[in-house]
Structure 1
Amino acid sequence: MPGDYDAILVVSFGGPEGPEDVLPFLENVLRGKNVPRERMMEVAEHYQSFGGVSPINEQNRRLIAALEEELARRGPKLPIYWGNRNWRPLLPDTLNRMAEDGVKRAIAFFTSAFSSYSGCRQYRENIAEAQQTVGPDAPRVDKLRMFYNHPAFVEVNAENLRAALDRIPTDRRDDALVLFSAHSIPMSMADNCRYQQQLAESSRLVAEAVGHPKYELVYQSRSGPPQQPWLEPDVCDVIEERHSEGTAADVVVLPIGFVSDHMEVIYDLDTEAKELCERLGIGFQRAATVGVHPKFVGMIRDLVVERTTDGAARPALGDLGPSHDVCPVDCCTYTPRRPPVAKS
């Protein structure tokens, strides 16, 4: 339903901004999750190798600044607030500031294009918990729809893929293998959402827009115990398999599951996958994320206008149609399945 909003809330994951932030941040991320401590320490080393700073917060600052310029130019003129799940600025603090500023109703943009528990429902739970913390003056918060098949999201990814393919010599370009990569999630989470379906559709739309049929959807950055099933195949496993088959002289990786260059992108892809390709003698290109591309920023503004305008068009490519505005009660539910304990 169209509504009168007095603010926009950008909701994101958060990340450390110094070496002393890394362990507290990761403890926030992994609280209540069945992730071995040795895996947490391994990920901590990834962050420390980059000075203990995740790029995500600075990228969100750039996105908010670009969106502020877009709203100043095209409207609607709404203030933008920013709250994270795992690190400052945390959602309870942000909603408290919004209440103090007199905000009554906000529309939220989640920095996730795809439906899953961790990419949508958990953020809604985080907002509800923050509202309870703030109390009766907390603003109402509605969310914008998922945008995995929005024409602008597809178009920007297609532009970025073309640019990466153009860096490959012409005589090898058509044979290059494009790997659309996304964060892996537990199968018990994937079974209750449309994450895989949406990723497959978005990858297809981008590949078709570029006219490059040689592509696969792969996953990265799993963090659960080995005995717990997660989405596969892993990006590095696919690179090794295609190399052994002799079918991948060049690889282009497009992290379609990410809207900006998170730590998982710059470590798992720009470091590990790139080093693997170099060792195997495979050409490696990494396509850019949508970041602050003007068309992507304009899409966010258009989604806000869409929600505030009665009868507005809801553009979406492909066969799945536009995602829902209001999530069903059972949407993206997740009950972690503990793997069985081995008997000695």
Structure 2
Amino acid sequence: MDALLLISFGGPEGPEDVMPFLENVTRGRNVPRERLEEVAEHYYLFGGVSPINELCRELKEAVEKLVDVPVYWGNRNWPPYLEDTVARMKADGVRSAAAFVTSAYSGYSSSGQYLEDIARARAAVPDAPEITKLPVYCLEPGFIEPFVENTRAALAQAPGARLVFTAHSVPLSQQGWEDYVRELKEVARRVHDASGSERPYDLVYQSRSGPPSQPWLEPDVCDHLELLHEEGVDSVVLVPIGFVSDHMEVKFDLDVEARQVADKLGMALVRASTPGVALAPLARDLFERA
């Protein structure tokens, strides 16, 4: 392989980017304008900036120090767009590349959609480089171990807290959701068992965006906090195992929305960090195996 390509979702980097970004994300889905404006407020709470692009820059820089080939970066929904990155790769003489995506699991939105992104970007560039997506990596030690370390650190702030693992909900109509859930359950088990916690743990979901009539993976994290409160649980550690970095659906849905629920209930809540740049050695290892 001539290069390593980092592929991510993308995110706005200023207030003026927020609505165009959300329009890109929802193009063709007939999402009402008022819903986009509601979600935009989540970004405006953080200055209209999603942390995901800066985290990708940091990850790219860290990976560049570990591999002997050029490292490129392209997004689905915001610059640098994947199509533009592939065009630059071709101009640089890259003939083949391995793609590391910032999504660790199986399923359509976690894996299959990125394959579509790669195909679309290559189709837009005549004689584009061959691009091979690296395998799903959620069960790799290089993914599990940073979560174990971060979970232990969070438990040190709340000894005896209930571990609640969270992941992005998906519709039950989505292809591959069964594999996605199976992998999440295994990651949760491994992180819990290695964390030193002796209390029960839960796997819940967050960030659903479909109409109420459409079944999605449940329970929702905020609903689950209410249930735990009724059971007498007074402290929780949220571990967002479905996410590789602290992008907006972690920063708002957990750090703002879930925390507001916990505060209302008088429940102590600590949120474990996501791996972020700690995934650089894993990206290198997967690339070297390709």
TM-score range, shorter chain: over 0.9
Distance (Å, rounded) in 2 between the aligned partners of 1:101 and 1:202 = 39
Distance (Å, rounded) in 1 between the aligned partners of 2:16 and 2:44 = 10
Per the alignment, do residues 227 and 34 of structure 1 end up closer, same or farther by CA in structure 2, a change over 3 Å counting? Answer: farther
Unaligned runs of 5+ in 2: none
Aligned to 1:336: none
- Among candidates 200, 206, 210, match of residue 214 of structure 1: 200
Distance (Å, rounded) in 1 between the aligned partners of 2:28 and 2:46 = 27
Q: Is the 1:14–1:88 contact (alpha carbons within 8 Å) kept by the matching residues of 2?
A: yes
Tell me if 1:183 matches 2:168: yes
RMSD: 1.2
Provide, for residues 81-132 of structure 1, a one-character-per-residue CA deviation record: whole Å limited to 9, x for no partner.
Answer: 0010000000110000011111110000010111121111111111111111
Q: Is the 1:35–1:225 contact (alpha carbons within 8 Å) kept by the matching residues of 2?
A: no
Aligned to 2:154: 164
AA at the equivalent of 2:52: I
Provide, for residues 2-29 of structure 1, a one-character-per-residue CA deviation record: whole Å limited to 9, x for no partner.
Answer: xxx0000000000011111111111111
Distance (Å, rounded) in 2 between the aligned partners of 1:117 and 1:190 = 6
Distance (Å, rounded) in 2 between the aligned partners of 1:167 and 1:192 = 34
Distance (Å, rounded) in 2 between the aligned partners of 1:81 and 1:193 = 32
Unaligned runs of 5+ in 1: 72-76, 308-344
Per the alignment, do residues 251 and 34 of structure 1 end up closer, same or farther by CA in structure 2, a change over 3 Å counting? Answer: farther
Per the alignment, do residues 192 and 239 of structure 1 end up closer, same or farther by CA in structure 2, a change over 3 Å counting? Answer: closer
Q: Give the 4+ runs in structure 1 shifted more than 3 A.
A: 34-37, 190-193
TM-score in terms of structure 1 length:
0.82
AA at the equivalent of 1:215: Y
Q: Is the 1:190–1:196 contact (alpha carbons within 8 Å) kept by the matching residues of 2?
A: no
Structure 2 matches for 1:57-68, cutoff 5 A? 57-68=53-64
Tell me if 1:45 matches 2:36: no
Aligned to 2:121: 130
SS at match of 2:173: helix
Aligned to 1:318: none
Distance (Å, rounded) in 1 between the aligned partners of 2:71 and 2:13 = 21
AA at the equivalent of 1:277: A
Deviation at 1:70, TM superposition (A): 2.1
AA at the equivalent of 2:79: R
Structure 2 matches for 1:1-344, cutoff 5 A? 5-33=1-29, 35-71=31-67, 77-135=68-126, 137-168=127-158, 173-174=159-160, 176-189=161-174, 193-212=178-197, 213-246=199-232, 248-293=233-278, 296-307=279-290
Deviation at 1:39, TM superposition (A): 2.3
Q: Give 1 or 2 for the bigger CA radius of gyration.
A: 1
Q: Is the 1:117–1:193 contact (alpha carbons within 8 Å) kept by the matching residues of 2?
A: no
Distance (Å, rounded) in 1 between the aligned partners of 2:204 and 2:250 = 13
Distance (Å, rounded) in 2 between the aligned partners of 1:298 and 1:140 = 23
AA at the equivalent of 1:156: P
TM-score in terms of structure 2 length:
0.96
The sequence identity of aligned pairs, in percent, is: 56
Q: Is the 2:165–2:188 contact (alpha carbons within 8 Å) kept by the matching residues of 1?
A: yes
Q: Is the 1:7–1:105 contact (alpha carbons within 8 Å) kept by the matching residues of 2?
A: yes
Distance (Å, rounded) in 2 between the aligned partners of 1:34 and 1:121 = 22
SS at match of 1:187: coil
